[in-house]
Amino acid sequence: MTIQCQYHWLLSLRGGRVTPTTRPFKKISTMPTKGQFMTKIHIISNHMARNMPKNIPLPKSAPPRPALLKPIAYFLLSVLLFSPIGSAADTLEISRFPSLISAVRISSPLDFCGEPVPLDEPEVRERMEREMLMSMGRRYQALLWIKRSGRYFPHIEKVLEQNGMPDDLKYIAVAESALLPHIGSVKHAIGFWQFMKPTGQSYGLRIDRAIDERRNIFASTRAATQYLKDLHEDLGSWTLAAAAYNMGQRGLERRISAQKTRNYYHLYIPLETQRYIFRILSVKQILSNPEKYGFYLTKKDLYRAPSFDRVRVEVSDHLPVQLIAQASSTYYKRIKDLNPEIRGDSLPEGSHSILVPKGTGSQFHALLAPLAAKYRSTQIASEQRYTVKKGDTLSGIAKKFGVRVSDLKRWNKKLKGKTHLHPGDTLIIHKKRSAKADPPVTPPFDRVRVEAKGALALQLIAQASSSTVREIKELNPEIRGDSLPEGSHSILVPEGSGEGFHDRLTPLVAKNRPTQAPGDHAPSERYIVKQGDTLLGIAKKFGVQVSDLWRWNKGLEDETHLHPGDELVIHQEGVIHQGESAKKTPPARGSFDWVRIEVSEYLPLQLIAQASSSAVREIKDLNPGIHEEGLFEGSHSIKVPKGTGSRFHANLAPLAADYQPTQIPERAPPPEPGETHRHYIVRKGDTLSSIAEKFGVPMPSLEQWNKGLDQQTRLYPGDRLVIHEEQ
């Protein structure tokens, strides 16, 4: 072992500088004996004690200076000798990290895929330095980039070379996913190259509930190189191709056409894409020269690519991953790590090419065959058939037999794509074996039909069937909550209680139905929230105010969103029963609150809708003249749903503080003198050309008046278009 001790920084305490005689000790190239080792420590400590500063004041009660300095020297020397050795040559040295100033200083010319980066432009240099500082600010992340590159870069570099593409493109994978297979974005882009599902499928990737090849380094790299090659052929620049990879080709081409420039560094595009190339360049700077930025790694420090054999498996039904692990003499997690594209616990039907540990491929099929045969026989022995009854649902059947809905669909191919069951259908169900006990037997029952006029409490059903609410819910697992919603329901009750059930239920319902006496509150009804419901919409439907809904439902006080299946209490004049027509009560005049908003730059309508517990369409309905996307700088007085104004600003403040606009839309051009504008609601079958012909205006004018609209834009019924007309 070689030990090199440098202690000149200790001696620099004398006068704050290093003396000219300071030098490192000679290397000890052989392991000394215990006596030799202690002798050398004694000599070194005496030398250090003589060179310690003599101007340090000591208390009067302290021992003499020589007696005090020698233990200090022993302590400091032991820290030097027994601290962990951190260099590749096993030498003891002080780690030095580059300063932030030197980290962003780029002296040599910089390029991306051979295309120069104009660092002589101050704005471009500033953008580059910003990304470098952000990358260096997370040193642990940069260190992991370097270490993971040893695992994945060899394959990516090989594919790029085979396709004649620049080596710099490999850094896109680091900028996109940090070389993590399962990472995903809020826009549902997944995998090493962050493919969206439609784009990945268009480039041959299999993406479904069982297999997602975006997580496979081999398949996703092949698709990404082809995608980048196509973008380069269309745009003529690798820089523009990378930008289009981030924001989409059509969006980038529209901005190039509108701004009349093909220089990426001069384009005004979404903020994320403005930073995208510089983020890739910062990754390139660090990974291509890690020592410059304080990362001293050897080849042994990098993560190695796993060694594997590739085998092809033909699956007739499904094959559990655990059997694959047993056939390859390894464990379940190893197979999942080698094949991250497998999403569940088994391989689906079909032909699959999978990876197994190196050296196990030759015997894999011989070991798998008996394991698969034994598994199939176990499955057949546990198979039973169930005949669907009226009122059955997939979730109810799955819960009854202790299996998952996905299992039912896998065992019964005819269920693929079906959403409804029909009485008389036969389903195959495999019992789950338990080491402790057999599956519980479903208790006997009677089936009854209940016509619920409004919400019907399960407590009344339990009383009418001489049982408990728990028993009713166990027999009817599809019931959510403590009541049946309005409508006709086929439910199960304990055996023997079906006869006379309705005779017992009718008086219970009549007794518990609220009646309105003079001066009493209006009767109440329970409303089950549906998909797309909002507080304002429900209030309009029942002719009440949002503030009333808050008052009647205390649990809403801290909620801003409704969820399907929630129950709301509603007090109104007369309860709507089944078979009666529900007359919509128009909202009363003044069913809104006025609020004043001071906007510094831009505020989208989505934040206003969230702060008022409503939807963007409702805000637009209350404020017909409002801009399609949001409010611009200035003071605005707008309407919000009744009852939301008092808490509006308190709700809006945190939303506005967290909001960071990527790109502020342009204001619509003011109408010419002598012109006015109106709004047209798109109907089913409308097209841009038919609307332009209807109002006698050219299509380019429609696109000018409605930002983001062009001939490729798809119109939907209910969309609102601005139309300018001459007075």
Tokens of residue 15, six digits: 């006068």
**Does residue 569 sit in helix, strand or coil?**
strand
Query: What does the pLDDT read at residue 613?
Result: 78
Burial 198-223 (b: 16+ CB within 10 A, else e): ebbbebebbbeebbbbbbbbebbbbb
Q: Is domain 103-293 classified as CATH 3.40.640.10? A: no
| First and final C-alpha spacing in the chain | 95
CA within 13 Å, CB half, 582: 12
Query: What does the pLDDT read at residue 76?
Result: 59
Query: Where do the structural domains in the chain lie, given as residue ranges?
Result: 103-293, 308-381, 383-430, 445-511, 524-571, 592-658, 676-725
At a CB cut-off of 8 Å and minimum separation 6, what does 171 contact?
280, 281, 283, 284, 287
Query: What does the pLDDT read at residue 263?
Result: 95
Q: Do residues 231 and 249 make contact, with C-beta atoms less than 8 angstroms apart?
A: yes
Nearest to 219 by CA among 203, 202, 231, 208: 203
CATH topology of domain 383-430: Membrane-bound Lytic Murein Transglycosylase D; Chain A (3.10.350)
pLDDT along the chain (727 residues), means of 10: 39 40 44 57 62 56 55 58 44 50 79 94 93 89 94 95 95 95 90 94 92 95 96 95 94 94 95 95 94 90 92 89 94 95 90 94 93 82 78 83 82 72 82 47 73 82 85 82 79 83 85 52 67 77 74 60 75 41 40 79 82 79 73 78 81 78 56 57 78 79 69 66 65
CATH topology of domain 676-725: Membrane-bound Lytic Murein Transglycosylase D; Chain A (3.10.350)
Nearest to 528 by CA among 568, 499, 490: 568
CA dist 707 and 701 (Å) reads: 11
Tokens of residue 226, six digits: 């082809």
Q: Same topology for domains 103-293 and 676-725, yes or no?
A: no
Nearest to 614 by CA among 633, 593, 589: 593
Strands 383-387 and 426-430: antiparallel
CA dist 427 and 403 (Å) reads: 13
Class of domain 524-571 as given by CATH: alpha beta
Query: What does the pLDDT read at residue 111?
Result: 94
DSSP 108: S
